[in-house]
Amino acid sequence: MSNLYLTPEHVLQGGYHHAALRKLQEPNTSIEPHNIMYPVFLVEKDNAIEPVHSMPNVNRYGVDQLIPLLAELVEKGLKSILIFGIVETLPKDPTGTSADSVDNPVIKALPKLRAAFPDLLIACDVCLCPYTSHGHCGLLKSGGGIDHEASVKRIAEVALAYAKAGAHVVAPSDMMDNRIKAIKEELVRNKLQNQVSILSYSCKFASSMYGPFRDTMKSSPMEGDRKCYQLPPGSAALAARAAARDVAEGADFLMVKPGLPYLDIVRQTKDRFPHHPLFIYQVSGEYELISRSGDRASMQTNLMEILTCMRRAGADCIITYFAPLILSIISEKK
C-alpha cells in the first residue's frame, strides 16, 4: 500500500541535510574578499575625516586619513576600492573642469595610493556631476538638455586623466550613450588599453535609492533629474540593450545598480554575457535599509543573506559600503 505522504522520488531534503552538502547545493555563492569592492569618498583636505550624516559608519576622507584606514582593511583582506572625488573649494563650472585638474583630489591621491598599496585594485568613478555647476552627469546645451557629443568627449578626457594618474579601472557612471567606445579609443591612443580596464555602469537605473549618496557628494542636479540618461526602473529591455551596447563598445566589466530590487536584471545580464565579470552596486539607499533592519546580529545575518542572493543571481563582485563589516564577518568565520 503506498503512503500518500511519502513519495520517494519527491524527497529533496536528503540532498541538503548536512552543511557540507548545502555548500554543494549553493555553487558560486561564497563571499570572499575578491567578491567585494569598497567605495570611498575622497575630499580635498588631506587630513579630513568627515562623517556622512545620512550614512552611519561612512566617512569622507582626505588621502592622509584614507591611507591608514585602507592599511587596516588591506590587512583584513580588502582587494579593491572605488574612489569618488568630492570638491568643496575647487570651482564647479559648466564643463566640470575640476574633474581632471591637477588639484583634483583623485588625481593627486592616485600615485600615493598606488605606492602605499601595490596589490590593491584601484577603480575610479568617472562622472561630471560632482564637478559641474549644474550638477548633471554630462554637459548641457545652451538651451538646456544634454549635449551628447561634448559630454562623451569630456567623459573620455576625464577617464584618461585618471588612467594616466594610476587608476587600474575607470568606471563611467554618467550613462551617456557611447562613452565606452570613446574611453576605450582614448586608452588605445595613449597605449593604456592593456593596463587599464573599463567597468561600465551599464545598467544604472534612475532609482530613488541614491538619496544618502547625493547628500554625501553634494551632487544633486540643480534643475531637472537624470531620467533622460539613467534607465527607467521598470525596463528590463533597455537594460539588456545597454549591456549589449557596452559589451560591443569594449566594456571589460558590467554593472547593475542598484542591486536588491534589480536581481532579475543581474540574472538576465549574466545569462547573456557569462564571459564578462558582473558587478552589483549595493547603493546608499540599500545600505540605509539594511543598516536599520534589526539589531547588530540580525542586521549582519540579513546582510550576508542578501550578498549570497546577489551571488546566486549572477554577481561576481558587489560594491558595498559594508565592505569593512563584511571583511570582519568573513575573517571571524574562518
Interacting residues toward ligand FVT by CB under 6 A? 125, 127, 173, 210, 213, 283-285
Distance CA 137, CA 126 (A): 9
Whole-angstrom distance, CA of residue 184 vs CA of residue 66 = 30
Largest Cα separation within the chain, whole Å, is 84
Q: Which residue has the cell 547603493?
A: 283
| 3-class DSSP assignment, residue 331 | helix
Name which of Zn ion, ligand FVT, none residue 253 binds, using a CB cut-off of 5 to 8 Å depending on partner kind.
Answer: none
* 296 Cα distance to chain centroid: 25
**Among residues 109, 122, 137, 256, which is the contact residue for Zn ion, using CB under 5 A?**
137
Smallest distance from ligand FVT to CB 39, Å: 7
Least distance (Å) between residue 283 CB and ligand FVT: 3
CB-nearer residue toward ligand FVT: 12 or 222: 222
Stretch of 27-35, 100-108, 134-142, 307-315 lying at the interface with Zn ion (CB under 5 A): 134-142
Does 272 carry a binding-site annotation? Answer: no
Identity of the residue, 210 or 253, whose beta carbon is nearer to ligand FVT in the bound complex: 210
* Active site (annotated) includes residue 184: no
Active site residue 204: yes
From the candidates 79, 92, 184, 204, give the one annotated as an active-site residue: 204
C-alpha distances (whole Å) from 30 to each of 47, 117, 150, 203 are 37, 25, 43, 24
Considering only residues 149 to 178 of the shown chain, the ones binding Zn ion according to CB under 5 A are: 173
SS (H, E, C) 15-37: HCCCHHHHHHHCCCCCCCHHHEE
246's enclosing H/E stretch is helix 236-249
| Nearest approach, Cβ of residue 270 and ligand FVT (Å) | 21
Query: Is 241 annotated for ligand binding?
Result: no
Residue 72 DSSP SS3: helix
Q: How far is the CB of 309 from ligand FVT (least distance, A)?
A: 19
Q: Closer to ligand FVT at the Cβ: 148 or 214?
A: 214
By annotation, the residues acting in catalysis are: 204, 257
